[in-house]
A and B are shown apart, each in its own frame.
Chain A
Amino acid sequence: MRVFSFLVRRVLPWSLALLGACTDPYMPEAVTSPPSYLVVDGYLNPLGISTIKLSRTFAIASKATPPTETKATVYIEDEAGTRTLLRESPAGTYTSAFLTLNPARKYRLHLNTLAGKEYASDYVPVKITPPIDGVNWQAENSGLSIYVNAHDATNTTQYYRWETDETWEIHPVYSPSVEYVGNAMRPIVVSFPSICWGNTHSSALQLFKTTALTQDVVANYRLRQLAFNSEQLHVRYSILVQQHALTKPEYDYWELLRKNTESIGSLFDPQPAQLTGNVRCLSSPTDLTLGFIGAHSVTEKRIFITPQELPSNWHTLSGYETCQPPDTVSLYPPPPAPTPAEILASTFNPATGLLPIMPIYAATGAKVLAYTAKSRDCVDCRTRGASTKPSYWP
């Protein structure tokens, strides 16, 4: 119903302006004083480290980061009552040691908050995720597509979820020789990094089920599409695919969550659904809890793509196209003019966001007439990634 939703948002305002239509803020009490429900994010890993993040729901109009739930006692528990404690670090994130859970048993997450409330997820069976058969990519007309392949010869996995983690190399176009520190220009002491690594973890939910197929096979499920000129492909690109085997209820949960995320609740958008999960508050059942805790292992596979492998007619962007040429900050503009010191002070400050790159000397002699300069984003690649080389990077 995109069409009509558009219609309503764009057409009604004008057609109604004629009629005395008006828009007022609408924030009913239910929205301004939102519930503070516990959010449990993560899964139990039967073959590795389990990470659970605890936070709280917060107001939709808030700009803050989600409030974390700290100092809770969190443990993994099997049906026999055997417990394994998770430790908190950093605040709100609870991790276990490397664990091996018994696939024949059912497990749940059990926790007590600092406020004394007790929560537990449903007992869930352990699923061992089959290995990823391959992650491959293809250059197509529209760009680059990345596919995943998997199968389970025992036909027991059936429900899959993937997460992707992408990393790419960034080469900034400037390497400044000067810096402006303490109201003075000086030769740079610590150079800006010459390479950074951009990274994003997928927020899109990638789900597939093989229940309609005669075999439990995932063939070329497309996880990612990149434009043919994508800057991520400019130097070297890597994608890590993490595969989760899900139970049917967990799959249903994620599918609904995916659909819910697509709209934000205008009456003209599709109806959203309330969604909670399998975690419940034992001490006060009316307290809703959000999140679904499943127990499954994770398998992963990483691939690299370099520009040499791409079709020769693909011209990827560096991402710094708009950064060239550099600006010039003249120290001696036509009078009346401030002094060079004043010019430097008014140019290179956090408000302008400009950084000096190099001096421009007079044709004769060493007198600095001007400096080249550009915004921090063009100069410092740490605005776009981290300067520490990831361990897996070749």
Chain B
Amino acid sequence: MQHIYRAIFALCFGLLCLPGYGQQAEKTITGTFTRLRFEQFATQVEAQTNFHFYFDPKTVDSLFVTVEAQAQPLRAVLYKALQNTNFRFAIDDENRVFVTAGAAINPTLPGEFYDAKAAGPGTALADDPTEAGTPGRSHLVSASEYKVYEIGGPGSGSGKATLAGHIRDQKTGEPMIGASIYSESPNIGASTDPFGYFSLTLPVGRYDLKIRGVGIKNTKRQVVLRGDGKLEIEVEEDIVTLKEVVIEAEKDKNVSGMQMGLEKLDIKTMRQVPTAFGETDILRVIMTLPGVKTVGEGSTGLNVRGGATDQNLILFNDATIYNPSHLFGFFSAFNPDILQGVELYKSAIPAKYGGRLASVLDITTREGNKKKLAGSGGIGPLTSRLTLEGPLVKDKSSFIVSGRASYSDWILKQLSDKNFAQSSAAFYDITAHISHEFNEKNSLYATGYFSSDRFRLASDTTYHYTNQTATLKWRHNFTNQLYGVLTGTYSHYAYDVTTTKNEVTASQLKYAIGQTGLRADFSYFPNARHTVDFGASSLLYDIAPGSFTPLGAKSLIKTNILGQEKALESALYASDKFDITPRFSVSVGLRYSFFQALGPREVYQYAPGEARSEATIIDTVRYASNKVLATYHGPEYRLSTRYSLSDNSSVKASYTRTRQYIHQLTNTASVSPTDVWKLSDNNIRPQVGDQYSIGYYRNFKANTIEFSIETYYKTLRDFVDYKSGATLVLNHHIETDIINAEGKAYGVEFFVKKLTGKLNGWVGYTYSRSLVQVNAATTSDMVNGGNYYPSNFDKPHDVTLVGNYRFSRRFSTSLNFNYSTGRPITLPLAKYYLGNSLRVYYSDRNEYRVPDYYRVDLAFNIEGSHKVKKLAHSSWTVGVYNLTGRRNPYSIYFKSVNGQIKGYQLSIFGQPIPTVTYNFKF
């Protein structure tokens, strides 16, 4: 009985008992008002509700109202109706609405509670529609909003105090990442880290702390801060992707955030983007962002701001993923059901990260429901997936396990073509994540990931590759202001190619890379103006660069094994984000990285001044086990700064240096599963990149529309390019086929994002160039005479539109549009007879371009009913990929047919591809 009383009390307290705060169970307004004179509008509203309007008829005689409302509170409706006028409104306790020109009147007594609450449509009111006690809102959460929390012992004096704690989902107990908590006056805020943890230092006093986050309902907490203390916050999930969700989440991050060149996407946004196979694909969505390109649509290789595909650090819960694709890149290796979100750093890379030149793609998984067992899944045309999550110890620990498998194999078997029936193509991946909170100070997280791809051709060759990663993370809070995370990671990627049909040539080609890492990261919040991060990390690489071995007793294949490669990459870093004034802040960071290539190994030495080739090997040096054969080290500077021009516009600039010690060897135009990774050594220097960028950011319409222009200039040193005719597989002297290239890239990115309202989405335009120069000492190694030439992924113009129109809460439609300049290509232009043979005359490298790329996709999402309590929530996605059926070239190749060389273009999605996917959640 008691809890019922408590619930009733909470309900009462939350919804009725604070009329002064405008939290009445006010009647909502529904209707479409089109160019209605204000007086008429007021009359109609008064008829629907118990509000009474007060205004001067003379001032409003030219005011016309055009607004559409669907069971919305008056505040929201008025706000919308008046937002582009100079009229303001205020609502008092007695449901009196005052409409005035210019400034809003303050109908209430001054006081902490009323603090400009009812004035609109200024900034304060922008939040209000969601703050109203909407039906169905958790009583607990509502109750906590009105409770006043006292933090710190009484009478612990003046000065500043630090408030720390977690923001968690009230239903599942999962941490909310990137949620912000802030006080509006003074304007001080913090956002939660990947653990949902925040630390906020404020002068002692009384505050209204507002909490905003992706996919959660806005809330607030009232605190009286007397000293350092803890505040655990539980927030409500927003079940359907509501317009408010995303806006409020990153509301003014665009302008006020320190970080530039950071793209953050949550899984809900990603789900709206139509894909070829109906399944949410994280990498495909990333590709729609400005500054991110790919060579072909069947490829998951990302080219970020003129960087090569190997220059992206792809982290899956902190473990490096070496091949992020399934089935030739038609699917990305990440199951959407387990993902929390993704962050892409493309210019100012935090000092914490290093090891790749162009970008960091940080993918995080969800933590699992800490309160009850739940599940979700989906059925698509080629794959199905299932996720299960729940508590191990209620509120303390949870697990989440998710699996995905393809049944393309089964489809192939159904085809009448014999070649297809003999072929197979299958993949699956499994992710498991466990989190446990020992106590307030200690938490442990473990993630395991395994993916496998296997395909056999109509012929006899089987390709197989696997990704394995494991992460173990221990987080310890030393004090409110200091916490540390110790992370151990393991990543392994391997492929093999097996041929068995002919017993005599039966063979297996294998490659494997393993990486074991340990890192310690600390965050220290000395006061509200400084955030200090520091730490150290070390990675041990172990590569089996290739082995070619016979299979079966009858095979005559000669065994060919390349020597093992080993190296240790370590780094120390520290950075400080310093808010010099509320308008001006800087972040200064330094990362120092060391690289040691380790034995046992045999290393060739080459005659100086000659092009490296087998003929110029002058010596072979043997190094014993764990002997250092080459050392490289250097500083990596990470600087960024922000200056706010006004509340809704700012300028940011950054400079980033990065160093990369591991190189992907691929001289095919796109990434292939059989690409190999090679460590720096005596003959291959590390790559170094410098990027300068500056940007202007502005938000419009109360932060609902974000606009940014970023421009960058980037130089790259010593990245790998290949000599003509390079052999990359099973090459004992790979350095003879590699040249160190220089590169430069520059561009400007325009981006407009609207993540609110019925119509939302983003439009991006990028003009960018990516140029390479190979000016080797020897002419035979030069490319294009040592001049700059376009890289494989130099596509100057790129326009992307991702749009979503929501007809109702249950029905929405999405549209993708993508245009880009065709990719560069080297063409065989003519043939000629020389040296007793027919030769082909090629154009300069990448002198020509393939036809422009152009694609439109359309999808409809139909959500099930929105009863909060029902067995399962389900949704359907029906889509058409490549609506216009344009034949965009994926690959262009030339082959000799009867002595004639002819060109062909292969289009992967040469016609519209319809898909249907069913998703569910229970």
| Residues of A in contact with B (beta carbons under 8 Å apart) | 1-28, 30-31, 34-37, 39, 41, 53, 55-63, 66, 163, 201-203, 205, 208-212, 249, 252-268, 270-275, 290-291
**Which residues from B are CB-within-8-Å of A209?**
615-616
- A23 contacts B905, CB within 8 Å? yes
**Which residues from B are CB-within-8-Å of A55?**
832-833
**Which residues from A are CB-within-8-Å of B47?**
none
Q: A35-B841, A41-B834, A66-B833 are in contact. List 12 more A-B contacts (CB 8 A).
A: A1-B728, A23-B905, A25-B904, A37-B832, A39-B833, A58-B832, A60-B900, A61-B900, A252-B780, A262-B725, A264-B901, A273-B845
Assess whether B62 is interfacial by the CB under 8 Å rule: no
**Which residues from B are CB-within-8-Å of A261?**
837, 839-840
Q: Which chain B residue has the least Cβ–Cβ distance from A36?
A: B830
Task: Tell me, rounded to whole Å, the shortest Cβ–Cβ distance linking A240 to chain B.
Answer: 13
Interface string of B779-803 (1 = CB under 8 A from A): 1100110000000000000000000
Give the distance in Å from the alpha carbon of A242 to the alpha carbon of B587 in the complex: 69
Task: Tell me, rounded to whole Å, the shortest Cβ–Cβ distance linking B820 to chain A.
Answer: 17
Task: Tell me, rounded to whole Å, the shortest Cβ–Cβ distance linking B703 to chain A.
Answer: 41
Give the distance in Å from the alpha carbon of A258 to the alpha carbon of B723 in the complex: 12
A60 is contacted by which of B825, B831, B845, B905 (Cβ under 8 Å)?
B831
- B615 contacts A265, CB within 8 Å? no
Task: Tell me, rounded to whole Å, the shortest Cβ–Cβ distance linking A247 to chain B.
Answer: 12
Interface string of B715-746 (1 = CB under 8 A from A): 00000001111111100000000000000000
B906 is contacted by which of A21, A34, A253 (Cβ under 8 Å)?
A21
- B845 contacts A265, CB within 8 Å? no
Interface string of B828-850 (1 = CB under 8 A from A): 11111111110111111101100
Assess whether B376 is interfacial by the CB under 8 Å rule: no
Interface string of B887-907 (1 = CB under 8 A from A): 101111111101111111111
Give the distance in Å from the alpha carbon of A21 to the alpha carbon of B887 in the complex: 9
- B900 contacts A63, CB within 8 Å? yes
- A265 contacts B457, CB within 8 Å? no
**Which residues from A are CB-within-8-Å of B725?**
258-260, 262-263, 270, 272
Closest CB pairs A-B (n = 8)? A259-B725, A252-B780, A203-B837, A57-B830, A266-B893, A26-B905, A22-B910, A34-B830
Assess whether B204 is interfacial by the CB under 8 Å rule: no
Q: Which chain A residue has the least Cβ–Cβ distance from B899?
A: A63
**Which residues from A are CB-within-8-Å of B724?**
256, 259-260, 270-273
Q: Which chain A residue has the least Cβ–Cβ distance from B610?
A: A211
Among B668, B837, B908, residue most surrounded by chain A Cβ atoms (within 10 Å): B668
- B668 contacts A4, CB within 8 Å? yes
A290 is contacted by which of B617, B832, B901 (Cβ under 8 Å)?
B832
Give the distance in Å from the alpha carbon of A58 to the alpha carbon of B672 in the complex: 34
Give the distance in Å from the alpha carbon of A31 to the alpha carbon of B840 in the complex: 12
Give the distance in Å from the alpha carbon of A21 to the alpha carbon of B889 in the complex: 10
Interface string of B262-292 (1 = CB under 8 A from A): 0000000000000010000000000000000
**Which residues from A are CB-within-8-Å of B611?**
252
Q: Which chain B residue has the least Cβ–Cβ distance from A13?
A: B906
Assess whether B909 is interfacial by the CB under 8 Å rule: yes
Give the distance in Å from the alpha carbon of A174 to the alpha carbon of B899 in the complex: 32
Task: Tell me, rounded to whole Å, the shortest Cβ–Cβ distance linking B547 to chain A.
Answer: 14
**Consensus secondary structure, chain A interface:** mixed
- A271 contacts B830, CB within 8 Å? no
- A57 contacts B913, CB within 8 Å? no
**Which residues from A are CB-within-8-Å of B276?**
19
**Which residues from A are CB-within-8-Å of B892?**
26, 267
Assess whether B384 is interfacial by the CB under 8 Å rule: no
B848 is contacted by which of A27, A30, A212, A270 (Cβ under 8 Å)?
A30
**Which residues from B are CB-within-8-Å of A210?**
615
- B829 contacts A31, CB within 8 Å? yes
Interface size bracket, B side = 35 or more
Assess whether B425 is interfacial by the CB under 8 Å rule: yes
Q: Which chain B residue has the least Cβ–Cβ distance from A41?
A: B834
Task: Tell me, rounded to whole Å, the shortest Cβ–Cβ distance linking B115 to chain A.
Answer: 59
Say yes or no: A35-B837 contact (C-beta < 8 A), given A22-B910, A212-B615, A270-B725: no
- A63 contacts B834, CB within 8 Å? no
Give the distance in Å from the alpha carbon of A163 to the alpha carbon of B327 in the complex: 47
- A21 contacts B826, CB within 8 Å? no
Task: Tell me, rounded to whole Å, the shortest Cβ–Cβ distance linking B234 to chain A.
Answer: 46
Q: Which chain A residue has the least Cβ–Cβ distance from B455?
A: A11
**Which residues from B are CB-within-8-Å of A259?**
723-725
A-B contact pairs, 30 of them (CB 8 A): A1-B668, A11-B328, A12-B908, A15-B455, A16-B908, A20-B909, A20-B913, A22-B907, A22-B910, A22-B911, A25-B902, A27-B903, A35-B829, A60-B828, A60-B831, A60-B840, A60-B894, A63-B900, A209-B616, A211-B610, A249-B779, A260-B724, A261-B839, A262-B725, A265-B827, A265-B842, A268-B669, A272-B828, A272-B842, A290-B832
- A56 contacts B903, CB within 8 Å? no
Assess whether B674 is interfacial by the CB under 8 Å rule: yes
- A19 contacts B896, CB within 8 Å? no
**Which residues from A are CB-within-8-Å of B783?**
271, 273
**Which residues from B are CB-within-8-Å of A202?**
836
Say yes or no: A273-B841 contact (C-beta < 8 A), given A59-B830, A61-B902: no
Assess whether B479 is interfacial by the CB under 8 Å rule: no
Assess whether B459 is interfacial by the CB under 8 Å rule: yes
- A8 contacts B891, CB within 8 Å? yes
Q: Which chain B residue has the least Cβ–Cβ distance from A161?
A: B835
- B904 contacts A23, CB within 8 Å? yes
Among B328, B420, B780, B902, residue most surrounded by chain A Cβ atoms (within 10 Å): B780
- A7 contacts B674, CB within 8 Å? yes
- B904 contacts A66, CB within 8 Å? no
Q: Which chain A residue has the least Cβ–Cβ distance from B844?
A: A274
Give the distance in Å from the alpha carbon of A257 to the alpha carbon of B725 in the complex: 10
Give the distance in Å from the alpha carbon of A270 to the alpha carbon of B615 in the complex: 21
Task: Tell me, rounded to whole Å, the shortest Cβ–Cβ distance linking B494 to chain A.
Answer: 15
Assess whether B497 is interfacial by the CB under 8 Å rule: yes
**Which residues from B are CB-within-8-Å of A59?**
830-831
Give the distance in Å from the alpha carbon of A5 to the alpha carbon of B894 in the complex: 12
Task: Tell me, rounded to whole Å, the shortest Cβ–Cβ distance linking A377 to chain B.
Answer: 20
Assess whether B458 is interfacial by the CB under 8 Å rule: yes
- A14 contacts B780, CB within 8 Å? no
- A163 contacts B610, CB within 8 Å? no
- B834 contacts A21, CB within 8 Å? no
**Which residues from B are CB-within-8-Å of A30?**
827, 829, 843, 848
Interface string of B633-669 (1 = CB under 8 A from A): 0000000000000000000000000000000001111
**Which residues from B are CB-within-8-Å of A35?**
829-830, 841
- A31 contacts B827, CB within 8 Å? yes
Task: Tell me, rounded to whole Å, the shortest Cβ–Cβ distance linking B632 to chain A.
Answer: 26
Give the distance in Å from the alpha carbon of A209 to the alpha carbon of B848 in the complex: 35
Q: Which chain A residue has the least Cβ–Cβ distance from B725?
A: A259
**Which residues from A are CB-within-8-Å of B905?**
23-26
**Which residues from B are CB-within-8-Å of A208?**
615
- B607 contacts A267, CB within 8 Å? no
Assess whether B463 is interfacial by the CB under 8 Å rule: yes
Task: Tell me, rounded to whole Å, the shortest Cβ–Cβ distance linking A122 to chain B.
Answer: 13
Task: Tell me, rounded to whole Å, the shortest Cβ–Cβ distance linking A7 to chain B.
Answer: 7
**Which residues from A are CB-within-8-Å of B893?**
9, 265-268
Q: For window 410-436 of chain B, which residues contact chain A by CB distance below 8 Å? A: 411, 419-420, 423, 425
Among B411, B674, B898, B899, residue most surrounded by chain A Cβ atoms (within 10 Å): B674
- A18 contacts B836, CB within 8 Å? no
**Which residues from A are CB-within-8-Å of B668?**
1, 4-5, 8, 267-268
Interface string of B672-701 (1 = CB under 8 A from A): 101100000000000000000000000000
Give the distance in Å from the alpha carbon of A164 to the alpha carbon of B330 in the complex: 49
Task: Tell me, rounded to whole Å, the shortest Cβ–Cβ distance linking B905 to chain A.
Answer: 4
Assess whether B132 is interfacial by the CB under 8 Å rule: no
Give the distance in Å from the alpha carbon of A270 to the alpha carbon of B844 in the complex: 14
Give the distance in Å from the alpha carbon of A285 to the alpha carbon of B622 in the complex: 51
**Which residues from B are CB-within-8-Å of A11?**
328, 455, 457
Assess whether B778 is interfacial by the CB under 8 Å rule: yes
Assess whether B401 is interfacial by the CB under 8 Å rule: no
**Which residues from B are CB-within-8-Å of A56?**
832
